[in-house]
Amino acid sequence: MKNIVLISVFTFLAFAKAHSQKATLSGTIIEEGTGETLLNVTVNIIELKTGTITNAYGYYSITLPTGAYTVQYSSIGYATVVKKISLNENVKLDLALKEQGEELDAIVITADVEKMSTKSPQMSVNALSIETIRKVPVVLGETDLIKALTLLPGVSNAGEGSAGFNVRGGSADQNLVLLDEATLYGSDHLFGFFSVFNPDAIKDLKLYKGGIPARYGGRVSSVLDIYQRDGNKQKFSGTGGIGLVSSRLLFEGPIIKEKASFLIGGRSSYAHLFLPLFDVDNVAYFYDLNAKASFNLDDNNRLYMSSYFGRDVFNVNNLFGNTFGNSFVNIRWNHIYNEKWFSNASVIYSDYNYGLELQFVEFTFDSGITNMNVKYDLTNFVNDKVKMKYGINSIYYEFDPGRIKPTTATSGINDRQLIKKYAWENGIYADGEFKISDQININAGLRISSFNRLGQESLNIYENNQPLLYNEDLEIYESATPTASFSSSRSETLKSFVNLEPRFSIAYSLDEDTSIKASYQRINQYIHLISNTNAPTPFDLYAPSGTFIEPQKGTQVAAGFFKNIGNYSIETEAFYKTVKNRLDYIDGADLIANDAVEQILLEGEARAYGLEFLLRKNEGKLQGWIAYTLSKSEQRTPGRTAMEPGINNGDWYNAAWDKTHDLTLTANYNLNKKWDLGANFTLQTGQPVTYPNGQYQFDSLFIPTYESRNSSRLPMVHRLDFSATYTPQPDKKKGWQSSWVFSLYNAYNRRNAVSISFAENEDTNRNEATRLAIFGVVPAVTYNFKF
């Protein structure tokens, strides 16, 4: 009996030891035929019902008890690979997945990219594949990433032909837009008619509306994170398209086969070339260039160099000229320390430049913002239940409010440089993904951000530190007169801020296809966009936080219900967001060439809350979604004392981009191998506006009076768009391949108002309202090709 007990004990100890020993399976997944790294590939361990996914650079790592396993590598659109492995020690397994091509329709291929995982704690994410975006009907036929995102819940813009986008009631400047980790300060061309993103160069995009991971910071509303493709490491190839108003062309191929690759692509519009035929002496066009090179130095080191340069050019009758745009250069180094540790180091230079030339008054005005960003991120794949991320980044800013230069010696304009401003922003974070049980998954992180406003050539000093005064007799705000000024070097700190930014999200799975989720985030924004328009324009002014301007502090909570039902998925979310220290300008404020913006600003607060619903059909010949958002976005700027009225008497008022109802229906139908059909219908509440409600006469002048700010609305917006994609040779997979995209924007010619203005009719001497609409029905055709 004693021997039996001893044998049982030793057997148990041996079993426990065997299962306490662990080993790591890791590797990089690429696309067969191109060498492009594949992100979000699912790696499933069949026996343990656990797994992981590849990161943004195609790398995966999972630590398991030693033993024999069946590993399944799958990504929709690629042939699934199943491997039998014996994991008695660390195993490095790199794989190339083969595109399924004709085995799946292109629409089906993209489904899983956009489908929300019910078990992941990450919520409030909008994702669209490039293939889906290409099928969305858009004005003038140019594929547009930003316009496609506005078809999903929680995302809108200020109206047709407007720049930027708004997320969950936030302003356009509260979105962090990243392209290959570099910050872009403008996401549109031609004041919102096109986005700056060349669809042929894009690999992946995600829009985080809430539950934003701790690795991101600096904007209180959202993060749009976009990655460019690396380039084909196997063979030379090209893609392009010819449209009615613009064309694009992209080349890619190996520098050293299977080791290094390049990608270079350009776009340009050319509609202005035809304007002289109609005796129109105006110019309006854009161009941009994407470039990237990637190098596999060895099994553990990869080097990437990417860049972007884009410009918009306007000229009106040789009287008014305008040039503006983004550019950046980024160098990244991936390093694998061992099976569990992956790192990425980046050095990024980016700038946004704005140039203005007024020929009729003979001067130029140039302004901009530049930054240098150094960042380092570490990922620790602890085991199949825990993954940790750590990182630091440091950004140096230079804000150039502008320089005015005369163009002739007789212009009467003096050469003047507005005072440049400098700042230094830093962040450090830790973020963890934890699988607590089969039902509970958590993502928790903490970011510590700091911002130092550095010395500058001159800074005003005001009595009682008040740059803005209230005149009680005239009942108006007035700029204070500085009592003195002082200079300081850039090595000095004028004002510093340090803030804690916790992030937390949790998912509770009710079953394999159903979960409820919740998230909380706190983010600080140190860069402010001061604008007197509803959407970003080149006339806007960027200002850093400092002595007179506090950082914006954003807090958001969200909760949602998620369910997959066969080929369908349902996502519902409710959110509540507040923003403190939201800037607003006083009546009569002048933003152009203003060297003391603190004299025209008041600090207020903003809030937004709402409900989002998304029903998506993910598979089959007919796919698409129904998206609906019910929300409210408001601002309030109370007076600083009981005697001051603030703005709108200190009452809450609708934000300029508030839209109570936002409904979108989007559908794609695969008619046959040669034809794909698309349609979308949009119905939105009209934009808030302020109308005159009366007038009074002063001497011989009639002066209007106005209602409360943004208390009225433009008429409801609705529009129906169609598209059809024709592929003449759908089975052709090599050589020259082409397709035609036919689109009809605003099919029933709805004249949606972008503004309503009031003026006196000279014939009747009566006041009349004039409705301005930009687009009627707009047909377009684009020829796409690749080789």
First and final C-alpha spacing in the chain:
78
H/E element, 30: strand 22-31
Neighbours of 297 (CB within 10 A): 13
Q: Report CA-CA distances (Å) from 313 to 146, 229, 494, 604, 631.
A: 21, 27, 37, 36, 37
- Residue 777 in contact with residue 736, Cβ under 8 Å? no
The separation between CA 168 and the C-alpha centre of its own chain, rounded to angstroms, equals 13
Neighbours of 365 (CB within 10 A): 20
Confidence at residue 722, expressed as pLDDT on a 0 to 100 scale: 94
Confidence at residue 108, expressed as pLDDT on a 0 to 100 scale: 33
Rounded CA separation 708/549 (Å):
26
Neighbours of 719 (CB within 10 A): 21
Neighbours of 358 (CB within 10 A): 17
Strands 541-544 and 552-565: unpaired
Q: What angle do CA 576, 577, 582 make, to 5 degrees?
A: 155
Task: Read off φ and ψ for residue 378, nearest 5 degrees.
Answer: -125, 140
Task: Read off φ and ψ for residue 351, nearest 5 degrees.
Answer: -150, 160
Picking from 239, 243, 231, 223, the residue whose alpha carbon sits closest to that of residue 143 is: 243
Neighbours of 529 (CB within 10 A): 17
Fill in the amino acid letter for 4.
Answer: I
- Residue 108 in contact with residue 132, Cβ under 8 Å? no
Fill in the amino acid letter for 643.
Answer: M
Per-residue pLDDT tens digits for 644-683: 999 889 999 999 899 999 999 999 999 999 999 999 999 9
What letter does residue 319 receive in the DSSP assignment? T
Residues 6 or more apart whose Cβ sits within 8 Å of residue 627: 151, 152, 153, 612, 613, 614, 662, 663, 664, 665, 666
- Residue 248 in contact with residue 265, Cβ under 8 Å? yes
Q: What angle do CA 717, 720, 722 make, to 5 degrees?
A: 150
- Residue 582 in contact with residue 635, Cβ under 8 Å? yes
Confidence at residue 538, expressed as pLDDT on a 0 to 100 scale: 53
- Residue 707 in contact with residue 691, Cβ under 8 Å? yes
Fill in the amino acid letter for 31.
Answer: E
- Residue 96 in contact with residue 69, Cβ under 8 Å? no
Rounded CA separation 716/361 (Å):
41
H/E element, 14: helix 2-20
Q: What percent of the chain has a predicted confidence (pLDDT) above 90?
A: 62
Residues 6 or more apart whose Cβ sits within 8 Å of residue 18: 65, 66, 67
Per-residue pLDDT tens digits for 228-241: 999 999 999 999 99
Q: Report CA-CA distances (Å) from 93 to 28, 43, 348.
A: 7, 12, 32
Token reading at 186? 């403008």
Confidence at residue 569, expressed as pLDDT on a 0 to 100 scale: 93
Rounded CA separation 727/674 (Å):
5
Rounded CA separation 715/685 (Å):
7
Q: Report CA-CA distances (Å) from 469 to 339, 485, 558, 644, 663.
A: 62, 18, 39, 10, 44
Neighbours of 528 (CB within 10 A): 22
Ranges of residues in the chain whose predicted pLDDT is under 50: 3-19, 102-114
pTM above 0.85, yes or no: yes
Picking from 168, 189, 156, 423, the residue whose alpha carbon sits closest to that of residue 287 is: 189
Confidence at residue 564, expressed as pLDDT on a 0 to 100 scale: 92
Fill in the amino acid letter for 246.
Answer: S
Rounded CA separation 194/310 (Å):
12
In terms of Cβ atoms closer than 10 Å to its own Cβ (0-12, 13-18, 19+), residue 102 is: exposed
H/E element, 12: helix 2-20
Confidence at residue 20, expressed as pLDDT on a 0 to 100 scale: 60
H/E element, 704: strand 701-706
SS3 248: strand
Rounded CA separation 172/656 (Å):
11
CA atoms within 13 A on the CB side of 94: 11
